[in-house]
Amino acid sequence: MKIDTLGEKLILYFVLLGIGAILIISTVAFYSNKEALMSRTFDQLTSLRIVKKNQIGQFYFDRIRDLSFMAGYSSKGPLSLQKAIISGRFRFPGQYFSAYYFLGPEGVVTQGCFDTAVSAPPLVSEKVFNKIEDQLRIRPVVVYDEAIDEQSGKPYQLIATRMTDTDKGKKPGQWILLLAVSMDAINAIMLNNDPLSGLGLSGETYLVGQDYLMRSNSRFQPNSILRTAVRTQPVIKAMSGSSGTMTTTDYRNIPVLSAYDTISVSGLTWAILAEIDMKEAMVPIYETRTHILLLSVIMIVIFFGIVLFISRRITKPLIRLRNAVVKVGKGHYDIDLPIETQDEIGALTESFNMMALQIKEKTTELQMERFGRIRSVFDGEEIERQRLSRELHDGIGQSLIAIKLRLENLLYQEGNDIRTSIQELKNYFDQIIDEVRRISNNLMPSVLEVFSIPIAFRNLFSETEEHSGLRIHFEAKGNFDDLDKKLKTYIYRLTQEALNNIVKHAEAREVRVNLTRNTVQLTLVIQDDGKGFLLDKVGKDGGNGIHNMRERASLLQGQIDIRSAPSKGTTITLNVPIIVTYVKDQNFPRG
């Protein structure tokens, strides 16, 4: 689509600017909300991680305390403790301890269940007992998290410590008390499927051991303890002793938000993680993005409407001005645009109306001036015809009539009278020849083509003095031989026009004419001692004579100055640049 008008461009610019601003604001708002929501989600995961860590820590602290209490309950050895357990002295809910073991000298094992409904405790291998016994040499309490029931295949944990059997006089530490911790108790703390718990539909908390296997069940993979490997970045960082939050992929290779930390229990190091799927965590962000996009579209539509309304208010008067300018260009000057506002557009409209009025006035003046010039040309031609008619009638005509009468008288004359009449006819013919030469010189002085302009001026001044009675003083300075023919003709005609005006109107006795030529200009000064006149009353252009002089000066690209006052004569000064180049086949100069 081609955009030509200012209004369309203005709408486009503002719409693009508005869309850009709205997109920038929307993008900043989206990413700000995204960061805020993700930060809030990380804070929530961190809170859950801390809560779960404290609960797990407290759980094992309580179980170790229970173990220590049972180990120190009786100094008569495992048999008395076993009797107390069987008698119900030590009864724990099933989610805590499920079974007990007494590992005696030479590998003697006594075992039983806390819950009488359970027929047999988990089967512990000799290898596990050996590992626990080795670790008890280092620390007083051992938590073993890699035990698996060899019969059912279910994982469980053992907490062990040494017992003293003083009743038989044996050395301290010959018996080891082991309590089997139910994994249901661990899962009750770590595993939570309630969407209202803060983990939603995809969040979970779980434990990972140093072998990168789960120590609590997964929400998505049942029976994952000691079976599901978790070698993710949060686990690796937690095993290195650091804690924090990050965006990563979990053991299912699904993008998640993860909060990780480390738990140490009796020599064991576990990683505890609280995670939620990125997709679920981003649901509020996507909803926010949708709302922002919808709001952006609404704002763009509203902004477009406002821009369209404003641009129409701005461009409508401008279009009206443009159409008015086109009309003015076609010559329709009768235009008066309404001023609807008092702002810059209103001022521009008012200025245009004034301009149109001024153009109309100037055009009228130019037309009047043009008519005046055309009239001056015709009047000048008519005056020249009248002058030629008078000269021909009063001069040549009268001489021809006289010759005709003399020739008719010759028919009646004889002898010497005929000779005398012929001599008179010869004189009449000489007068006619002189009169024809004078008229010819007035029309086109041939002396300009042969001689310089000072000589032509002297001939003109001599004839003027002869017929008018003026006393003309002429002075020329400089070289005038290289002047162009057109230049000489225009200056000659201008001087001739000035002398005619002086003879007709000035009532002068003397005239001084100075012609000066230097390297850059030619200066002509004509000064008379006549009665003068007021330039204001004569008008800017004066009569035909003054108008003709001004026209000739403009054709020479020169400047003419006319100064006059009543009873003080008139001074005409003409300055013409010499550097002007003249076109020979035209009647006007060219720079």
How many helices and strands in the chain, by DSSP H and E? 15, 16
Return the minimum-mean-pLDDT range out of 41-45, 171-175, 301-305, 492-496: 171-175
> Tell me, what's the pLDDT at 270?
94
Which pair of structure tokens corresponds to residue 77? 């050895």
Q: Could you read off the pLDDT of 154-165 as tens digits, one per residue?
A: 888 999 998 876
> What CA–CA distance (Å, rounded) separates 526 from 500?
12
User: What Å distances lie between residue 362 and 37, 147, 245, 359, CA to CA?
Assistant: 74, 113, 84, 5
- Tell whether the model's pLDDT for residue 442 goes beyond 70: no
> Tell me, what's the pLDDT at 247?
93
> Residue 272 burial (CB < 10 Å; 0-12/13-18/19+)?
buried
User: What Å distances lie between residue 401 and 388, 391, 404, 440, 560, CA to CA?
Assistant: 18, 14, 5, 21, 45
Domain spans of the chain, in order of start: 36-281, 336-443, 445-590
254 pLDDT tier (thresholds 50, 70, 90) = very high
> What CA–CA distance (Å, rounded) separates 401 from 335?
66
Q: Which CATH superfamily does the domain covering 445-590 fall into?
A: Histidine kinase-like ATPase, C-terminal domain (3.30.565.10)
Instruction: Say what angle helices 416-443 and 344-391 make with each other, to 10 degrees.
Output: 170
**Who wins on pLDDT, 94 or 328?**
328
Q: How many CB atoms lie within 10 A of CB 145?
A: 23
| Secondary structure of residue 119 in the 3-state scheme | coil
Which pair of structure tokens corresponds to residue 232? 């993710």
590 pLDDT tier (thresholds 50, 70, 90) = very low
> Tell me, what's the pLDDT at 380?
61
- Residue whose entry in the numeric block shows the structure tokens 């080891």: 176
- Tell whether the model's pLDDT for residue 170 goes beyond 60: no
> Residue 521 burial (CB < 10 Å; 0-12/13-18/19+)?
middle
**Who wins on pLDDT, 327 or 276?**
276
- Residue whose entry in the numeric block shows the structure tokens 């759980």: 59
Return the minimum-mean-pLDDT range out of 99-103, 235-239, 278-282, 586-590: 586-590
- pLDDT above 70 covers a percentage of the chain that reads 80
Domains 36-281 and 445-590 in one fold = no
Under a CB-based contact definition with an 8 Å cutoff, are residues 439 and 388 in contact?
Answer: yes
Which pair of structure tokens corresponds to residue 219? 């929400």
- Tell whether the model's pLDDT for residue 93 goes beyond 60: no
> Tell me, what's the pLDDT at 438?
66
> Tell me, what's the pLDDT at 262?
95
CATH class of 36-281: alpha beta
Diameter of the chain by CA atoms?
211
> What CA–CA distance (Å, rounded) separates 78 from 175?
8
> What CA–CA distance (Å, rounded) separates 229 from 212?
6
Distance between start and end Cα atoms, the chain: 49
User: Which residues are 262's β-sheet partners?
Assistant: 271
> Shortest CA distance to 117 belongs to which of 94, 100, 97?
94
Q: How many CB atoms lie within 10 A of CB 331?
A: 9
pTM: 0.52
φ, ψ for residue 517, nearest 5 deg: -130, 130
> Shortest CA distance to 109 belongs to which of 89, 98, 123?
123
118 pLDDT tier (thresholds 50, 70, 90) = low
- Residue whose entry in the numeric block shows the structure tokens 């008179």: 424
Under a CB-based contact definition with an 8 Å cutoff, are residues 564 and 570 in contact?
Answer: yes
> What CA–CA distance (Å, rounded) separates 513 from 528?
9
Average pLDDT, whole number, for the chain? 79
446 pLDDT tier (thresholds 50, 70, 90) = low
> What CA–CA distance (Å, rounded) separates 123 from 119?
12
Q: Output b/e per residue, 14-49; b: 16+ Cβ within 10 A.
A: bbeebeeebeeebeebbeebbeebbeebbebbbebb
Which pair of structure tokens corresponds to residue 38? 């993700």
> Tell me, what's the pLDDT at 441?
63
Helix (H) or strand (E) segment spanning residue 525: strand 521-528
Q: What angle do CA 440, 445, 451 make, to 5 degrees?
A: 145
Amino acid identity, position 306? I
| Secondary structure of residue 495 in the 3-state scheme | helix
